[in-house]
Structure 1
Amino acid sequence: MPQQTEWEAKAAGLLKAELKRKGVTYAGLVERLSAIGIEEKEVNVANKLSRGKFSAAFMLACLSVIGVGSLHLD
């Protein structure tokens, strides 16, 4: 299995940190994504975040549904 790139790890870490900061579980994220028409399974979300392999559009949708209005990338 290929190792995560630095950027994949950063993207996954950032999204996981925001989920934790907002107190949203993967199950809660799946429910919120469903409410805006994005159908995902909890296991698929967990796999995407553990691999760091997801689109920018998926990340933006996730951040939006959990109420993140701004990010600090440092």
Structure 2
Amino acid sequence: MAAKADPATQAYETKAKNLLKGELKRRGVTYAQLAEKLAAIGVKETDRNLNNKISRGGFTAAFLIQCLEVIGCKTLHLDAD
């Protein structure tokens, strides 16, 4: 299991955070709107909690997929750094 302080783990958390932020920005979705969309599928988060969670980048794969689905993201492109 990778430790939180592991640079490789941190690099992927940053990548996940940037990926999600980019998709939100591309679609013009605010954290408040994301909170509403997540609530519609039973995920209760405030816009403030979303801001904190996404800024940290240490969220689960399930949370990432939930967010991407509710904003209508059907495909992702993972560009090599």
Q: TM-score, normalised by structure 2?
A: 0.85
Q: Shift in Å at residue 43 of structure 1? A: 1.0
Paired-residue identity, %: 56
Instruction: Report the AA paired with residue 51 of structure 1.
Output: R
Task: Name the count of aligned residue pairs.
Answer: 73
**Equivalent residue number for residue 19 of structure 1:** 24
| Letter in structure 1 aligned against 2:27 | K
Greater RCO, CA 8 A, separation 6+: 1
Quick check: which has more Rg, 1 or 2? 2
Gaps of 5+ in 2: none
Q: Could you tell me how far apart the structure 1 residues matched to 2:48 and 2:57 are? A: 14
Report how far residue 42 of structure 1 moved: 1.0
User: How far 1:32 moved relative to its partner?
Assistant: 0.1
Instruction: Point out where structure 1 has 5 or more consecutive residues left out of the alignment.
Output: none
Q: Partner of 1:30 in structure 2?
A: 35
Aligned pair partner of 2:76 in 47, 56, 71: 71
Q: Which runs of 4+ in 1 moved over 2 A?
A: none
Cα deviation digits, residues 8-28 of structure 1 (max 9, x gap): 000000000000001100000
